[in-house]
Amino acid sequence: MLLIEDVNKSLEERLAALEYLQMLVEQFDNAVNMDRMSLWGRLLALLAEPEEKLRKACLWVVATCAQNNPEPQSALLAHGLLEKSFSILKEDPSMTVRHKAMHVISAMVQHNQSVYDAFLLAGGWAQLEDILTTGDEGLYARVQFFTASMVSEREAEVSDVIAEYPLLCAALSKYAQE
């Protein structure tokens, strides 16, 4: 983490360190240890970096940790990352960073009831409905896939909720036809 945080290091060195961290956290136990080693706050501080590549790489590490791993999902929720990811999804000037933020939301919410509950409290479906209006095909596809995955995981519960959102329903129908 010291190399990643060191603003005196080159961008390439910092990105290489983030890539190495991403490979390390692919291991389930290493992802869990991020919280035990109090690394989340330090890593998430990179989301304020002006450099797009650092923000993107940070989100990539986070999404890798959260993927199907309840402990990091809950720890990231406690660090406010779900709502921060929605902010990034709507406001970051970089579409590639926005794409990674959607990946983080997906990785955090899937297979974790407490994070899904927080997603609902944050108006997650309404926020994703708004995202579909951006015109970005990459974001559309990510929201579409996430919605289909959530319907598959929580069929009746999610189907009833998203029935209120015509753009999400249309995206889901389009996904089913593809």
Residues 47, 111, single domain; the answer is yes
Share of the chain above pLDDT 70, in %: 100
For residue 56, pLDDT over 90 is answered with yes
Residues 7, 24, single domain; the answer is yes
Report the CATH number that the domain containing residue 60 is assigned in CATH.
1.25.10.10
For residue 27, pLDDT over 80 is answered with yes
Mean pLDDT value of segment 15-27 = 97
Mean pLDDT value of segment 133-148 = 94
Residues 147, 105, single domain; the answer is no
Residues 25, 84, single domain; the answer is yes
Share of the chain above pLDDT 90, in %: 91
Describe the crossing of helices 81-91 and 113-121 by its angle, rounded to 10 degrees.
50
Residues 5, 66, single domain; the answer is yes
Tens digits of residue pLDDT in 102-123: 999 999 999 999 999 999 999 9
For residue 53, pLDDT over 90 is answered with yes
Residues 93, 143, single domain; the answer is no
Tens digits of residue pLDDT in 144-174: 999 999 999 988 888 889 999 999 999 988 8
For residue 136, pLDDT over 90 is answered with yes
For residue 178, pLDDT over 80 is answered with no
pLDDT reported for residue 1: 92
Count of the separate structural domains present in the chain = 2
Q: Comparing 177 with 66, which gets the higher pLDDT? A: 66
Residues 151, 89, single domain; the answer is no
Which residues constitute the domain of residue 33?
Answer: 1-122
Residues 134, 48, single domain; the answer is no
* The domain boundary residue, chosen from 78, 105, 122: 122
pLDDT reported for residue 18: 98
Residues 51, 96, single domain; the answer is yes
Residues 115, 169, single domain; the answer is no
pLDDT reported for residue 20: 97
Residues 29, 109, single domain; the answer is yes
Residues 66, 134, single domain; the answer is no
* The domain boundary residue, chosen from 122, 145, 161: 122
Model confidence at 177, in pLDDT bands (50, 70, 90)?
confident
Chain mean pLDDT for the chain: 95
Q: What is the DSSP string of the chain?
A: -HHHH-TTS-HHHHHHHHHHHHHHTTSHHHHHHHHHTT-HHHHHGGGG-S-HHHHHHHHHHHHHHHTT-HHHHHHHHHTTHHHHHHHHHHH-S-HHHHHHHHHHHHHHHTT-HHHHHHHHHTTHHHHHHHHGGG--HHHHHHHHHHHHHHHHHSHHHHHHHHTT-HHHHHHHHHHHH-
* The domain boundary residue, chosen from 101, 122, 143: 122
pLDDT reported for residue 5: 95
